[in-house]
Amino acid sequence: MAKPIDPAARRAPAGSALFPELELGVPGEAPAPGTREPRALGEWVAHIRDQEMPALGATVALIHSVTEDDKASTGRLAQAILQDAAMTAKVLKLANSALYNPARHGISTISRAIVVLGFNAVAEIAVAIRVIDALLAGGVRQRVVTEMARGFHAAVQARSLSVMRHDGRSEEVFIAALLSRVGEMAFWCFGGTQAQRLDAELNAGGQTAEEAQMSVLGFRLRQLSLGLAREWKLGPLLQSVLEGSSRVAPTEQAILYGQRLAAEAENGWDAPGTCKLIGELATFVGVSPEALREDLAANSVEAARIAGYFGGAEAGRQIPLAGPAAELDVEEVEPVLVEDLLEPDPQLQLKILREISGRIAAGANLNEILQLVLEGIYRGVGFDRVLFGLLSQNRLQLIGKTALGTGAEALRQRFIFSLDQTPGDLFNEFFRHPRALRFEPGRNPPGLRIDRLQLVTNASLACVAPILVQGRPIGLFYADRLNPARGIDDETFEAFQLFAQQVSLAVTAASSSRRSQ
């Protein structure tokens, strides 16, 4: 009987050495049996994509599926971001930063961030956050931190130059500059023994960085950046910069200038090379060198903060600060903490409720209100999962439509319940006599069987509230907590009901508006 094929053996290259102990090379960590490190550029792209950062591709594909759909709503993008608590916190930090929000108008929700910053800008920020997260998770070494510091510094400076030139693509410029060295960062994260060899070559001196890369790898890391940018569809502007066209438009030039400034500033803001470059930049944007120097100094501080918002606090502390800006408090570049993100936050609840009221008064469509309510229950009231369900047209089925939180998409797909006249069943009784209900071990509403609900949700702490139109239920909100120790107290239950009522108010307002027209 033939032995089963070993998957690792099946992947082994055809030319594997029979006597690996005779292989010559620089001492380092030995590759795992049956594997070898990539050699050609294409192999490196595939290795990083498939072996080192596979989850990134799924996230990028999800966000691209939204941005490439001309009919996609802001709600779909908000939902994609809200599934990740850390990403949500970082997007909101950036949306409230001086970089993106100089007027400092408070932005409390992802939905609002999309309205203020723009659909594509938020999508690009989300992709960049995921890229940086994946790189930080790959085992950061010193050269990765250095590359990240340059990336964040270049990105903020390039965006500022773009804004000064009144270029409408400043958000694109920021992301393109930030990710312009993604290949370098990925290589130093996952390069193994080849990264050690290249590190030794660079430390030895005598060669430029590109000469050392060609000597060790046979290709430039800039080419790896381009390969990954194409693989993950990181935007045409980034690809254009990496391709190095002989004809450079002002938008691309802003990115190249940002990169040069980030590199020169490492030698000191008063170094001859930095001073000369600032004069060149002043001509580029049409301001005096003195005025520009002040702006660039402030940008270096903001770049350090932005690095912290992305989770790269260590990189932020390596960004060279200019003059008085060097007094930046270290705490200002600490990474965003998300451990308490799902705890009840009364202030956030109030902000979101005010936003909902304003949107209803402004005649916002129901999908916008629905998304804000979901976000309010999820982030403000602090539930692990929240779902909006709607009755079918014949009122014989309850179908989950949108959900947020841990395993929310799987819950939404399972959340389908048939309705009949069976007495005592939760859903039949709920739509006959709609009212908010809370479920806790030993304290469930008497006379109601909740076995169907628990079979689908596998949660013992939950609550439901109806959505009413002229007193008639058309759907419900469901929310739960997966940790039995947390409980659902009266204040939480009341806040949940208050948010659920906003959709009924919005539907009533929309109906009144249509009748008056």
pTM: predicted TM-score of the whole model, two decimal places? 0.79
- pLDDT means over runs of 10, the chain (517 residues): 40 38 38 61 90 81 81 79 86 89 85 87 90 80 89 96 92 94 91 89 89 92 94 91 85 95 94 95 95 93 92 90 58 48 82 92 86 93 94 94 89 94 91 94 87 93 93 94 88 96 86 63
| Same structural domain, 313 and 391 | no
Residue 487 in domain: yes
| Same structural domain, 305 and 363 | no
| Same structural domain, 286 and 240 | yes
| Same structural domain, 249 and 393 | no
Which domain-ending residue is among 266, 301, 329? 329
Residue 122 in domain: yes
Distance CA 192, CA 37 (A): 8
Distance CA 64, CA 111 (A): 18
Q: Around Cβ 452, how many Cβ atoms within 10 Å?
A: 13
What's the pLDDT score for residue 442?
A: 82
Domain count, the chain: 2
Read off the CATH number of the domain in which 437 is found. Answer: 3.30.450.40
Q: Tens digits of per-residue pLDDT, 303-354?
A: 999 998 988 888 999 999 986 545 555 445 555 544 444 678 899 999 999 9
Which domain-ending residue is among 329, 359, 385? 329
Distance CA 93, CA 341 (A): 13
| Same structural domain, 375 and 319 | no
Distance CA 497, CA 353 (A): 12
| Same structural domain, 299 and 267 | yes
| Same structural domain, 265 and 158 | yes
DSSP classification of residue 438 = E
∠ CA(368), CA(372), CA(378), 5° rounding? Answer: 145
Residue 336, SS3 per DSSP: coil
Residue 474, SS3 per DSSP: strand
Which domain-ending residue is among 300, 329, 358? 329
Distance CA 288, CA 279 (A): 8
Q: What is the dihedral angle through the alpha carbons of 223, 224, 229, 232, rounded to the nearest 10 degrees?
A: 150
What's the pLDDT score for residue 515?
A: 61
| Same structural domain, 315 and 354 | no
| Same structural domain, 92 and 67 | yes
Residue 6 in domain: no
Read off the CATH number of the domain in which 84 is found. Answer: 1.10.3210.10
Residue 34 in domain: no
Residue 15 in domain: no
| Same structural domain, 189 and 152 | yes
Residue 13 in domain: no
DSSP classification of residue 205 = -
Residue 393 in domain: yes
CB 399 within 8 A of CB 389: yes
| Percentages (nearest 5) of helix, strand, coil residues in the chain | 60, 10, 35
Q: Tens digits of per-residue pLDDT, 16-62?
A: 343 333 333 333 444 444 456 777 899 999 999 888 888 787 878 88
What's the pLDDT score for residue 53?
A: 84
Distance CA 288, CA 118 (A): 32
Q: At 97, list the tokens.
A: 């930063």
| Same structural domain, 210 and 128 | yes
Residue span of the structural domain in which 453 resides: 346-516
Distance CA 513, CA 257 (A): 53
| Same structural domain, 293 and 228 | yes
What's the pLDDT score for residue 22?
A: 33
What's the pLDDT score for residue 481?
A: 93
Residue 472 in domain: yes
